[in-house]
Chain A
Amino acid sequence: MSKDFIDHRFHLTRRHFLGKVSLGLGSVALGSLLIPDLFSKSEGSTQALGLPHFAPKAKRVIYLFQNGAPSQLESFDYKPLLNKMAGEELPASIRMGQRLTGMTSGQAKFPLVGSHFKFNQYGKSGAWVSEIFPNIAKVVDDLCIVKSMHTEAINHDPALTFMQTGAQQGNRPSMGAWMSYGLGSENKNLPAYCVLLSRGRGNGQGVYSKLWTNGFLDSVHQGVQFSSSEERVLYLKDPDGRDRADRRKMLDNLAQLNDLNYKEFGDPEIQTRVQQYEMAYRMQTAVPELTDLTKEPDNIIKMYGADCLVPGTYAANCLLARKLSEAGVRFVQLYHQGWDQHGNMTGEMPLQAQDVDRATAALIMDLKQRGLLDETLVIWGGEFGRTNYCQGNLSKDNYGRDHHPRCYTIWMAGGGIKPGIVYGESDEFGYNIVRDPVHVNDFHATILHLMGLNHEQLTYKHLGRRYRLTDVAGKVVEGILA
């Protein structure tokens, strides 16, 4: 009997059903009044953008990317044991069956080889630096040398992409784009993210625009590549016979047309484009002064080396990087190619070091004497390290090293970094990390932290989920914070 009763109760009439549903819908409708953008805005973030989450230590970044992976064993990670054991086989207890690249996995032997360049201790911190970096050695007390970086990729493209975007596969926004998205631009007359390229004299690897992509972020955040030619920003000058007033009129009219188009299609990229035109117009005043290096005092030219006046060299890019950073550019990304010493280490490494040593040290000093080093984070390093064993023929005076992702060295200086320290440690063979490993995600989290951003909060919703530079990992490396 009672069962029939329950059945009856559950057997709703249409009227009853509609009554309940409308009641429910009414409640949803009332609730929706509290959510202003429920049906209007589909994408985007709810947090305020363009400002750090907390007090930043650094306002700007200059990333001196050493493309091709400079050997840590010939630069900053001194391993005398490798010289002592030169020619002996890499012990299996050290290698622990870890994967190698296809370039050396077929080698019958893995003879250890030590640095052919001498190491000395420098500065108050007594950090070891190789003799081929005599100028960087002089500023070593301003650096924090991280000897325990490690990455997941073992070949250039994925490793580079990982260092730049936090993912190996590409299509994600690069670090500079995230900064531009999270912090905005300090100087509205220049892009927030600038890219400068130079080539070394060693075996080179490519650099390509996917490394400074905006990924799924708005295209205003894309890195702007400066030309290596004398005209650093191409087509910036008005054509002959046209003046600024003409240009202004043209842009105004073009903006009206674009606005019509925007009203019709609502594509935000149209507005981005208009903004870019306006910025290019303002860059016409801002850039010539920046790229004119001839007015730099003699002392500066000597400090950076004579090459700094030759457009497209690393030294010129360092000098330009300082000028851009001084003018409020958030993120200046340099790439210097030629660090891929699979062979001819003794021939190429000194040339590469010579290209970067003087100008890099000059950049540190130059920022410091202008009072900018404590608000500018300078990073120097490659995408992975190099093996402690020789690739190819080991002769008395030459050798090569293969890719090594387990352990490598980078250094940072300036804004918020503890100066004059060495962080992390590799084993005596320079193969594995024994203390304080720093993963690429940790590295990114730390850089964002220094810029006043919580890496877990700087997100962008794309394809149904929120993305971060550090994806789902990353810990701030507290030990290197000042």
Chain B
Amino acid sequence: MQRTARIFINLIFFFQVLLVFLLFFEERIELPGWLQVAGRLHPMVLHVPIGILILLFVFMMLRNTFRRRQFRKIVLICLLLAALSASVTALFGLFLSINGDYGTDSLRQHIISGVVLSMFTFFLLVWYKNVKKGEIVFYSSVVFTLLALVFAGHTGSVLTHGENFVLAPIATEETLTTDNASLYQLAVMPVLEKKCFSCHNESKAKGKLIMTSMTKFKAGGEHGRPWVEGNPDSSRMIQNLHLPLEHDDHMPPDGKPQLSTFEISLLEAWILAGADFEKKMNDFAEGDTLKMLATSVINSRIKSVATVVYPFNAVSSEVIGRMNTPFRTVFPLYQNSPALHADFFVKESFQLSSLEQLKEIKDQLVVLNLSKMPVTDANLSLISQFKNLEKLNLNFTGIKGEGLINLKSLTSLESISLSGTSVTKDALTAILSLPALREVFIWNTPISEAEKTELEKSFPKIEFIHTLFNDSSLLALSKPILINEGIIRKGDFLQLKHTMPGVAIRYSLDGSNPDSISSTTYDKPIPVWETVKLKALACKEGWYCSDLLEITCYVEGHTPAQVTLLKPADKQYPGEGASSLTDGRKGFTDVLKEPSWLGFRENAFEAGFDFGSLPPSISKIVLSYADNLGGYIFPPTDVEVWGGKNANEIKLIKAVKIEQPTADRPQSMEAIGISFDTTTYAYYKIVAKPLSKLPLWHGGKGQKGWFFVDEVFFY
């Protein structure tokens, strides 16, 4: 007996550890088939520990009828059997839970209580076997175990029979529908329930008003009935809702969830309509304000996700895997759905055989997308074998229509897209009697707008989608595009283009505005020899000419041997110092914090340019600068050009004043060109003064302006 008991105890201990372990890794367990069978035995074996534990309890009640040694043995045997069967039951239950579909909350409770029960019986067994005193503790533990048994049993029954299984025959509760419930119950009460019931209920009854029961609500509180039928404005309930939030009588009190204006209008409409508790939704006239408000309340409640049941079986994932190639995608509509969706991509790689292979899934295919594939009418008889098709996309295929008749067997077809094909009205009519068909896409087909209207009349159940865009008003073209980037070498060519076929580009290089009739037409690249202002526009029959493209094209000039900044640039915008001015790199109009740009505000721009011992002849200087008035960046007010043999012997060659803008304008990159009689000085000094006070029209009026320069050119 002792030996057998020890073996059993070890076995049970083994089960306990296994239980705890499996409980931890529950989510990752994958059961072999034979263990699933064991799991399904759970509902049977569970009766064994219940019976034995109850038997144990009965024996303990009858303790005095046994001899002491005998009694001990009986209890020990009961406990052994109870602990063994409880742990086996728990283990089987765990297996069952892994493959079953049970609600998670009650399942969790059941698993935990089952495992606790199994462990507790084991604990009782060990205790009873080893400790011979402490009977009271032992007996109360038995009672506790029985309680755990009741709890585990109850949670288990909830899983199998559902909540409230036992009392269900005597409880009556029906769901509210528009047929059996009044508008009040369906729409008004839910609002009150959310915002008012928490204080005005049977147990709390603030202001002696109870809203949870209709009769007590009608009876009113300490101020009487809170509404006047047909008159929301003199109804206390509505008045209180409209009081300012800080008012003592405002409802709901400050700090509680408030009613939305929409909810208030619902209550007002309900009182206006006579505060009726009984009237049903259907008894209200169509278009009634209260009914409409109520409907939108009802419709906004949670809707569950609908699932469709298909009359065919799923194919294996191995088949689906085989169907997928880089150019053909086949996948179930969603997890565990037998219905399949097939897409074809990249028309160059399309082969008819790849469509034929779909026969293997001909029953399961419900969505087929062949958009842009070289499919013809001859292939439609193949497609007609996919008899459960619901949606077929044939946009921009080679379908002409005569084969559509083959599709007459597709009784589940709901939607067909034929946009961009040559399908005619007569050919289309062949399939329009399909019972499930509800939408047909025929944009960009030979079918005219008038024919579409006829079709709509003949087939009122089907929606025909034709051309949606019918605007014939003229539009402007986009601007031409200058291909050249950066600074151009002398004699290089400017290249223009436009992305729309058949566009004429007209341009000018002298600063005048080109027009669509008399200006030079761009037909070949334009050679340029010096910095020019290019203006160009695009024109085409049937369109307005584009806006002007205006770009200053900078041509490489003479490069000085050395450049020095006589006054430093602003610390925030130092560029790469003086070398930025002649490095041949233009900046971008909108990014000023980068090496190309030098910014000046406190200091004027003053730089010296030394051409060394072999100075070229110079007759023009061009300063390239940024114009971004919103960013306080203005043209300079004064520009001076000085020249001489060296830095110390220079004289003023030319000084110009620059016209200042009088209103905001888009940011751009601009150039100031200063021409003078040809000179051969070795050294030039250029001064450009930033605007000292921003003009009155500007947001930063009175503040100092900025001057940003990125390149200086000598010609």
Contacts and interface: CB of A to CB of B under 8 A. Distances in A.
Interface string A272-312: 00000000001001100100011001010111011101110
B29 A371 contact: no
A51 B331 contact: yes
Nearest to B393: A371
Nearest to B371: A326
11 contacts: A2-B131, A53-B335, A54-B335, A56-B333, A186-B329, A289-B346, A309-B499, A328-B329, A370-B417, A371-B417, A435-B261
**In the complex, the 9 A-B pairs of residues with the closest C-beta atoms, listed nearest first:** A369-B443, A371-B417, A309-B499, A371-B441, A52-B334, A365-B468, A27-B18, A435-B260, A27-B17
A368 B441 CA distance: 9
A463 interface: no
Nearest to A48: B335
Interface stretch (A18-26, A65-73, A107-115, A150-158): A18-26
Interface stretch (A35-43, A168-176, A259-267, A377-385): A35-43
Given A31-B25, A299-B467, 14 more contacts: A27-B21, A51-B332, A184-B331, A187-B329, A204-B590, A285-B349, A286-B346, A289-B347, A305-B475, A310-B499, A369-B465, A393-B699, A427-B261, A434-B261
A257 B686 CA distance: 61
A23 B8 CA distance: 13
Contacts of A306: 475-478, 500, 543, 546
A309 B21 contact: no
Given A306-B546, A478-B303, A369 B419 contact: yes
Given A23-B14, A362-B469, A34 B31 contact: yes
Interface string B399-434: 000000000000000010101100000000000000
Interface string A306-331: 11011101000000000000111000
A34 B29 contact: yes
Contacts of A184: 331
A38 B477 contact: no
Interface of A: 2, 5-6, 9, 20, 23-24, 26-28, 30-32, 34-38, 46, 48, 50-56, 93, 184, 186-189, 201, 204, 282, 285-286, 289, 293-294, 297, 299, 301-303, 305-307, 309-311, 313, 326-328, 343-344, 347, 362, 365, 368-371, 392-393, 425, 427, 434-436, 452, 478-479, 481
A9 B130 contact: yes
Contacts of A293: 499
Given A34-B35, A369-B419, A425-B262, A452 B478 contact: no
Interface size class of B (residues with CB under 8 A): 35 or more
Contacts of A46: 27-28
Contacts of B546: 306
B419 A55 contact: no
B474 to A, nearest CB: 9
A54 to B, nearest CB: 5
Contact of A31 (B21, B299, B699): B21
Contact of B260 (A93, A188, A311, A434): A434
Interface string B459-486: 0000001111101000111110100000
Contacts of A5: 131
Contacts of A326: 371
A188 B478 contact: no
A371 B415 contact: yes
Contact of B303 (A31, A32, A34, A481): A481
B30 interface: yes
A40 B299 CA distance: 49
Contacts of A370: 371, 395, 417, 419-420, 441, 443
Given A27-B15, A31-B21, A310-B478, A285 B346 contact: yes
B283 interface: no
Interface in B231-248: 244-245
Contact of A365 (B133, B469, B478, B699): B469
Contacts of A93: 244-245
B343 interface: yes
B334 A53 contact: yes
B316 interface: no
B444 interface: yes
A46 B476 CA distance: 56
B57 interface: no
A37 B301 CA distance: 42
A108 to B, nearest CB: 17
B28 A38 contact: yes
Interface of B: 10, 13-15, 17-18, 21-22, 25, 27-32, 35, 130-133, 244-245, 260-263, 299-303, 305-308, 324, 326-327, 329, 331-335, 337, 343, 345-349, 371, 393, 395, 415, 417, 419-420, 439, 441, 443-444, 465-469, 471, 475-479, 481, 499-501, 543, 546, 590, 630, 664, 666, 699
Contacts of B260: 425, 434-436
Contacts of A31: 18, 21-22, 25
A240 B445 CA distance: 41
B351 to A, nearest CB: 14
Contacts of B22: 31, 34
A189 B345 contact: yes
B589 to A, nearest CB: 12
Contacts of A289: 346-347
Contact of A26 (B14, B334, B478): B14
Contact of A186 (B327, B343, B477): B343
A297 to B, nearest CB: 7
Nearest to B18: A27
Nearest to B349: A285
Contacts of A392: 699
Contact of A35 (B25, B130, B131): B25
Contacts of B28: 35, 37-38, 46
Contact of B334 (A55, A294, A365): A55
B416 to A, nearest CB: 8
Contacts of B21: 27-28, 31-32
A313 B481 CA distance: 13
B305 A54 contact: yes
Contact of B337 (A23, A55, A344, A347): A55
B543 to A, nearest CB: 7
Nearest to B499: A309
Contacts of B345: 187-189, 286, 327-328
Contact of B131 (A6, A28, A37, A305): A6
Which one of B307, B335, B419, B590 has the greatest number of beta carbons of chain A within 10 Å?
Answer: B335
A201 B334 CA distance: 43
B400 to A, nearest CB: 18
A297 B467 CA distance: 13
A311 to B, nearest CB: 8
Contacts of B299: 479
A310 B481 contact: yes
A31 B31 CA distance: 11
Which one of B130, B305, B417, B590 has the greatest number of beta carbons of chain A within 10 Å?
Answer: B305
A328 B307 CA distance: 24
A27 B699 CA distance: 80
A52 B475 contact: no
Contact of A371 (B18, B326, B465): B465
